[in-house]
Copies of this chain bind each other. A is one copy, B any other.
Amino acid sequence: MLTPPPGDQLVVSTDSLTEEVHFKRSQIPPSILGRKALLVNISDLAAMGARPWFCLLALSLPEDLARSSYSSALLEGFLGETRRWGVDLVGGNLTGSSIIQVNVTIGGTIDHGQSIKRDGCRDGDSLYLVGHVGRSSRGLQLLHELNFDMLPTREEELLELVKDPHDALCLLSHLLPAPRLRAGIWLRQRKLANSMIDVSDGLVADLQRLAEASGVEIVIDGSTLELLRSEGGERMTLEHVLHGGEDYALIFSCSDRKHQEIEKIFPEGFGDLRRLGIAHRAETPAVLVDDGRNQMILTPQGFDHFT
């Protein structure tokens, strides 16, 4: 029984992690799987600037795992993150299944009429990125390459698994993404963002969604892309940056007159803030890159569940 805060509006969202689609059983410890399942849903709230309120967990497990410490480790990881983010687990369901699936539904609150959606990007808006892109897919590549026998479960130990500090961050970002909740709430409360989306399927794919919802074309600055790539270490490619999924960074747009203010007052602890480019009203929504001489259309190659 939940009592809605007077005057607030409710947002709800659902997201699943499915074995062999989003993860391989041997490549993620159960406690981290439980944590990640909540984190990706917290990111959905971040993209709306919503405060976490409640969640429900629908867990599908093969019988041998349900009867072993696997299920309790998964649940402990999940519950730890619910405490960390202040979200109440109010319902659940456990089902037998041939594969592992962790489905979470999350509810959050927003002050009445204050929502930020992906369709609010206007002509002349500046586009911003909070956090990083490319790290998660580079981390996944590392998991495949290194083929660890057994992964540790704590952040500090995960960071020590590989020597290269860039790679270590990528591995951690893949296993335990950092939802930009504080940034999302802050942007909403200060009415600084016209539109917002989280990057779950890749930078270009999610920019394209924002462009289509808003009826704009988005022109990204080529030098910013190169900067994002170079910061990711030697093995980070432009492919990772443009099309890697599961980073759970935040993209938002703001009016041109606000963009200098935002760069000054954006709190440091909320994640790296980068100006990606600019939006123009357009008949055909698209994402382009401007290398200083030419503009080229970027085609989404993000995660498609059925290719």
Least CB distance, A139 to chain B, in whole angstroms: 21
How far does the Cβ of A93 sit from chain B's closest Cβ, in whole Å? 5
- Tell me the A86-138 residues at the B interface (CB within 8 Å): 90-99, 101, 103, 105, 107, 110, 112, 115
Is A159 an interface residue when CB atoms closer than 8 A count as contact? Answer: no
A130: shortest Cβ distance to chain B, in Å?
Answer: 22
Number of copies: 2
Contact B1 A110 (CB under 8 A): yes
Residues of chain B lying within 8 A (CB to CB) of residue A20:
97-98
Alpha-carbon separation in the docked complex, A66 to B21 (Å): 14
Q: Tell me if A16 is interfacial: C-beta within 8 Å of chain B.
A: yes
Stretch in A27-35, A54-62, A236-244 touching the partner? A54-62
Chain B nearest CB, measured from A282 CB (Å): 26
Given the contacts A97-B99, A101-B101, A11 and B2 also touching, CB distance less than 8 Å: yes
Given the known A-B contacts A101-B60, A306-B66, are A12 and B96 also in contact in the complex, defined by CB atoms under 8 Å? no
**Alpha-carbon distance between A115 and B8 when the two chains are bound, in angstroms:** 22
- Any chain B CB within 8 A of the CB of A13? yes
Residue of B nearest to A10 (CB): B2
Q: Which single member of B54, B57, B67 contacts A306 (CB below 8 Å)?
A: B67
The yes or no answer to A293 lying at the interface (CB within 8 A) is no
Residue in B12, B13, B101, B110 whose beta carbon sits within 8 Å of that of A97 in the complex: B101
Where the two chains meet, the residues of A that have a C-beta atom closer than 8 Å to any C-beta of B are 1-4, 6, 8-16, 18, 20-22, 54, 56-58, 60, 63, 66-67, 90-99, 101, 103, 105, 107, 110, 112, 115, 305-306
A–B complex contacts, Cβ < 8 Å, 5 sampled: A1-B110, A3-B10, A13-B91, A15-B58, A58-B103
